[in-house]
Chain A
Amino acid sequence: MAKTHITLTVNGEAKELLVDPRELLIHTLREQLDVTGPHIGCETSHCGACTVDIDGKSVKSCTLFSVQANGADITTIEGLGTPDELHVLQQAFREHHGLQCGYCTPGMITRAHRLLQENPNPTEEEVRFGMAGNLCRCTGYQNIVKSIMAAAAEMNAAQEAAE
């Protein structure tokens, strides 16, 4: 089977790739591009550990062929913040103990980022509903919710200060 040539923008960088049609985006990211932040936790699209942001949508990258994503603009956890300037969510997760083993964390934060774009001022219930596509086995979610609410508060305060 001949490979297909595709172009992806990943965390702001244009990437040219050759992929088999059946190559899942999660594998292209992890294996070809060494973007190993998104993780694999299941094969039935339930766990959300593979969540990335594509053209402004939260997407489980294990449920997409890379050929489908040709031309797309993809952000993974590696594209949120830098070591010198962490994203508010990354700081909040540390501040409020929103992670333990770290395996769900890239998908969790990437999804939270999009959630706060959809709804900058969510209630706790809205956070729980909006994060229900990301499973965690370690934290029991309580501190994840706390982290996201804290990040939202901080982002809103910064927004208000700027205005």
Chain B
Amino acid sequence: MNDMTPSREDRVANLKGLGTSRKRVEDARFTQGKGNYVDDVKLPGMLFGDFVRSPYAHARVKAINTDEAMKVPGVLAVLTAKDLEPLNLHWMPTLAGDKQMVLADGKVLFQGQEVAFVVAEDRYAAADGVEAVEVEYEELPVITDPFHALETDIVLREDLEAGADGAHGPRKHHNHIFLWEEGDEAATEQAIGEAEVVAEEMVYYHRTHPCPLETCGAVASMDKVNGKLTVWGTFQAPHVVRTVASLLSGIEEHNIRVISPDIGGGFGNKVGVYPGYVCAIVASIVTGKPVKWIEDRMENLMSTAFARDYWMKGKISATKDGKITGLHCHVTADHGAFDACADPTKFPAGFFHICTGSYDIPVAYVGVDGVYTNKAPGGVAYRCSFRVTEAAYFIERMIEVLAIELGMDAAELRAKNFIKKEQFPYTSALGWEYDSGDYHTAWEKALKSVDYEGLRKEQAERVEAFKRGETRKLLGIGLTHFTEIVGAGPVKNCDILGMGMFDSCEIRIHPTGSAIARLGTISQGQGHATTFAQILASEIGISADSITIEEGDTDTAPYGLGTYGSRSTPVAGAATAMAGRKIRAKAQMIAAYLLEVHDDDVEWDVDRFVVKGAPERFKTMAEIAYASYNQAIPGVEPGLEAVSYYDPPNMTYPFGAYICVMEIDVDTGEHEIRQFYALDDCGTRINPMVIEGQVHGGLTEALAIAMGQEIAYDEIGNVKTGTLMDFFLPTSWETPNYTTDHTETPSPHHPIGAKGVGESPNVGGVPAFSNAVHDAFRAFGLRQSHMPHDHWRIWKTAHDLGLHG
């Protein structure tokens, strides 16, 4: 017996495990300017690549003259589609089953599209080289309206065989990509046809962009001596990039090493493969030197994966008492010039069919028509969990419109239709099995916290004061109760380019009791090095401070599908827990051997195995680790290691209740956020501090999206918002303080009961802000006004409602 044995509480605290607001290990290097981002990578002899890009949204490329560019001092080569064709790399497959030009092949299809790749000794020479390339274009008519795209004779994708099926089935028009459907259309239309009340609305979620602070980039280095290609890059899915690189280049995967170093924000912008990566790799292979490509901000906004652009036509039916009886949604999805959506293969509209949301809706139907236009490719990005942001916005707007139609309070309407706690696991009319939820508790807590009744009273008084001419400011209360679906996903139906969406964790315990664990995910700021150590600490009884977490190097990390769609905790977090349990299972055998008892005679207690009924006899994990290296244990291999590849049985379904209180100046269109309350339920909470930070950040992205941020085009496809002058990123001044709160409804199928949370604030935030704007004008007759709610659009709403006298 050791008199110095710390108390159980102390032992738990020492672990810094689940539930503690452990300070981040990453911060040491980031606060000292010692991060290692892609543009920090410098190799001897490194060259620099830069793109010539199309100023036109739709044009034939008649000629490319590189003579003058080649005369620029420092310029070594200019690659065009002609140079990539022999390697069959002038086009590449997209994650959505389409193909995309790497360099312009006969024509260009969006403003900013890559036309030629200049390789030079430094970035200044490359920039000069880009200016000197002469391209002859012949302009073609431009299509920016997805509805018009399905009616026009103008063919955008001349490379696709007319009449042939696309990757997701028949294409009904040359600019059509796919029709994807879920639910029972006939039953839904019947329910709606028979309903007492029906509300119909077109809800548009506009095009925007994830705009992480660090743009995309890569350094490709082909080692001709060893035949090995190494690529550093802004990759949210490094293993997938390696597999794709192997398929495209013909170099075997064991000779490709992909490294995602520190990444300055991803938000889904860094999932797919961009022409810049391919060109850097080709240039490196051709020159035998490392080649770096770093895009600038305009290039990032104009050509990399955009987000949203969903026209969602909704019909929702209910009894006159407000019980919803059916939901119909048709989406016209503007995918731009190539379908480069980063969705799991079988889901060309992602998980949009979560759009029944938090509500118990008996019948529903969703149909999504994907459409080509002369805009940048992409679609799924920006903390969207694969179109869940669109789905949540859709249903939370339809609820509000239904409330108007019913003359009912929107909070009450929601509560009346929530899936009840007892109904979980709940299978929605669109086929999802929600794992767990307690919406009523969350909702009541939220409403109480903001004094909802008091706010409605205040609002009613404000409306009267406005009508009396005493004030020009309206008050809006924006409500949202969202349910989202994250943690892709079960291998049986979730894959990225054929790779099942499992994830992995590999743990090795060292002789002196510390450990290293490698994962198939990659943090872009989410703090995995801190939080995954916490999961492990609680499983294996070694302090998180003694556990190194590594990600991102495909030579050492087990295969994983990367980090996006809030999948890391649900999938890799589960793998981590399961690998930890394998460690503990072996540790149990070792402990039993050391204590000279049977395996079943010891039990786990925080950080040690204790003999049942004899608590003074125990072995700590540290002692067990040493023994695994030091002792010859019959039937047990030396060492202490485990690997888990986790195939999740289901997604997880975090949910939340957000309430936004907003003041609107009717004359200038300006807004002020008086209060924002966000309650999130992500099941087991690993690090409350990190969760809170994620919510603050996601809400600020949502604020931007709802209140002014957009990727806008004019009628001839010019990008109007291609710099940070016009692409709205709020500063610290425009951003309010948020009040965060939580409930905890664990996921029954997850090893530690955790769900994802990173994307919830963007999913729930946008409807909360947008609903606040709508709610401010509800008393004056507003039903629907499209985002973004920037000054002039709010002003126009007020104007059209006759509020300017």
Contacts and interface: CB of A to CB of B under 8 A. Distances in A.
B782 to A, nearest CB: 28
A37 B262 CA distance: 13
Contacts of B226: none
A145 B738 CA distance: 13
A20 to B, nearest CB: 7
Interface stretch (B489-497, B512-520, B725-733): B725-733
B735 A138 contact: no
Contacts of B267: 137
Nearest to B704: A137
B426 interface: no
A75 to B, nearest CB: 11
A42 B525 contact: no
B792 interface: no
A39 B214 contact: yes
Nearest to A101: B525
Given A39-B37, A44-B724, A101-B213, A140 B696 contact: yes
Nearest to A99: B30
A56 interface: no
Given A44-B297, A99-B27, A99-B31, A142 B737 contact: yes
**Max chain A Cβ within 10 angstroms of own Cβ: one of B27, B525, B737:** B27
A42 B723 contact: yes
Contacts, number: 184
Interface string A32-56: 0011111111111011010000000
A47 B31 contact: no
Nearest to B30: A102
A101 B263 contact: yes
Nearest to A46: B724
B689 A47 contact: no
Nearest to A93: B31
A145 B732 CA distance: 8
B265 A138 contact: yes
B87 to A, nearest CB: 31
Nearest to A124: B737
A128 interface: yes
Given A103-B214, A105-B30, A143-B696, A44 B725 contact: yes
Contacts of B221: none
Interface in B698-713: 698-701
A102 B124 contact: no
Given A36-B33, A95-B23, A128 B733 contact: yes
B214 A41 contact: yes
Interface string A60-87: 0000000000000000111001010010
Q: Which of B31, B123, B212, B525 gathers most chain A CB within 10 Å?
A: B31
A109 B262 CA distance: 19
A114 to B, nearest CB: 15
A48 B735 CA distance: 17
A38 B183 CA distance: 51
B468 to A, nearest CB: 32
B31 to A, nearest CB: 4
A57 interface: no
A5 interface: no
Contacts of B723: 42-44, 46
B697 A137 contact: yes
A78 B42 CA distance: 18
B724 A101 contact: no
Contacts of B297: 41-44, 47
Interface string B199-222: 000000000000111110000000
A136 interface: yes
* B contact face: mostly helix, strand, loop, or mixed: loop
Contacts of B213: 39, 41, 47, 49, 101, 103-104, 135-138
A4 interface: no
A37 B34 contact: yes
B638 interface: no
Contact of B699 (A42, A81, A106, A140): A140
A138 B724 contact: no
Contacts of A132: 731-733
Contacts of B23: 94-95, 97
A101 B214 contact: yes
Nearest to B40: A36
A37 B692 CA distance: 26
Contacts of A10: none
Given A36-B33, A97-B689, A99-B31, A137 B701 contact: yes
Contact of B32 (A83, A139, A144): A83
Contacts of A86: 31-32
Given A20-B124, A77-B32, A137 B733 contact: no
Contact of B39 (A35, A40, A77, A139): A40
Given A81-B32, A137-B212, A100 B525 contact: yes
Interface string B253-283: 0000000001111010000000000000000
B477 to A, nearest CB: 21
Interface residues of B, number: 59
A90 interface: yes
Contacts of B264: 39, 41, 101-104
Nearest to A22: B124
Contacts of B699: 140
A25 interface: no
Contacts of B122: 31
A149 interface: no
Given A36-B40, A139-B696, A94 B724 contact: no
A101 B524 contact: yes
B355 to A, nearest CB: 27
Nearest to A104: B213
B151 interface: no
A47 B265 CA distance: 14
B234 to A, nearest CB: 11
A47 B298 CA distance: 13
A41 B300 CA distance: 10
A128 B732 contact: yes
A59 interface: no
Contacts of A94: 23-24, 27-28, 31
Contacts of B33: 35-38, 76-78, 105-106
A146 to B, nearest CB: 10
A139 B737 CA distance: 11
A131 interface: yes
B169 interface: no
Interface string B8-31: 000000000000000110111111
A90 B694 CA distance: 20
B753 interface: no
B740 to A, nearest CB: 9
Contacts of A129: 732-733
Nearest to A94: B27
Given A90-B31, A99-B31, A102-B26, A142 B729 contact: no
Contacts of A81: 32
Interface string B508-543: 000000000000000011110000000000000000
Contacts of A42: 296-297, 723-724
A100 B124 contact: no
B690 interface: yes
Nearest to B294: A40
Contacts of B695: 140
A47 B724 contact: yes
14 contacts: A36-B39, A39-B37, A41-B213, A41-B214, A41-B215, A47-B213, A89-B31, A90-B31, A94-B24, A100-B694, A101-B263, A140-B697, A141-B700, A143-B692
Interface of B: 23-24, 26-35, 37, 39-40, 42, 122-124, 211-215, 262-265, 267, 294, 296-298, 524-527, 689-690, 692-701, 723-725, 729, 731-733, 735, 737-738
Given A46-B725, A137-B265, A139-B693, 16 more contacts: A40-B39, A41-B297, A44-B723, A46-B724, A49-B213, A77-B32, A93-B27, A94-B27, A99-B30, A99-B31, A101-B524, A127-B732, A128-B732, A136-B732, A137-B267, A140-B695
